[in-house]
Amino acid sequence: MRILSWNIRGLGSEVKREAVKRLCRLSRAFVYFIQETKLEVIIKDAVRKLWRDDNCEFRFVAAVGRSGGLLTMWDKNKFILFKDWSDDRVIAIEGKWVKEDLDVVLINVYAPNIVSEQCTLWGVIMELRNQFASP
């Protein structure tokens, strides 16, 4: 299981997209958590270009204004999705690592800097424990 997380601080430029493509090629991770995409829309064709083929699935959360935005991508031969959930700062995916035959929940988080908002986010994450059965 290889998971990579990166706060890209904007995925709108060609330079950043090329950096993610290079990262996907070199790291060969099974799951990528990208935070702060600053994109309102992410289409399948754009994700396929980042991944370099059709062997991936993804979920995204749109940015609000010029901040936030999440993208979770995974190799659909390595991880099989059962269920997903998202809000403006979290993408949670429940599924199975195929090779290990292990059910898991993976969470991509874009945390706020304001303490009161952090407390709210932790409440959301704790509530996710009730929605998902897997570790």
Residue 64 has a pLDDT of 87
Backbone angles phi, psi at 112, to 5 degrees: -80, 165
Q: Per-residue pLDDT tens, the chain, 135 aa: give them.
A: 899 999 999 999 999 999 999 999 999 999 999 999 999 999 999 999 999 888 999 999 999 887 899 999 999 999 999 999 999 999 999 999 999 999 999 999 998 889 999 999 999 999 988 888 778
Residue 134 has a pLDDT of 79
Q: Which domain holds residue 20?
A: 3-131
Quick check: pTM over 0.85? yes
Q: Between 44-51 and 14-27, two packed helices, what is the crossing angle to 10 degrees?
A: 50
Residue 86 has a pLDDT of 95
Sign of CA dihedral 56, 25, 98, 109: negative
Residue 95 has a pLDDT of 96
Domain count for the chain, please give it: 1
Which string of b and e fits 83-107 if b means at least 16 CB within 10 Å? ebbbebbbbbbbbbbeeeeeebbbb
Among the listed residues 65, 60, 133, 118, the one whose alpha carbon sits nearest the alpha carbon of residue 91: 60
Residue 12 belongs to domain with CATH number: 3.60.10.10
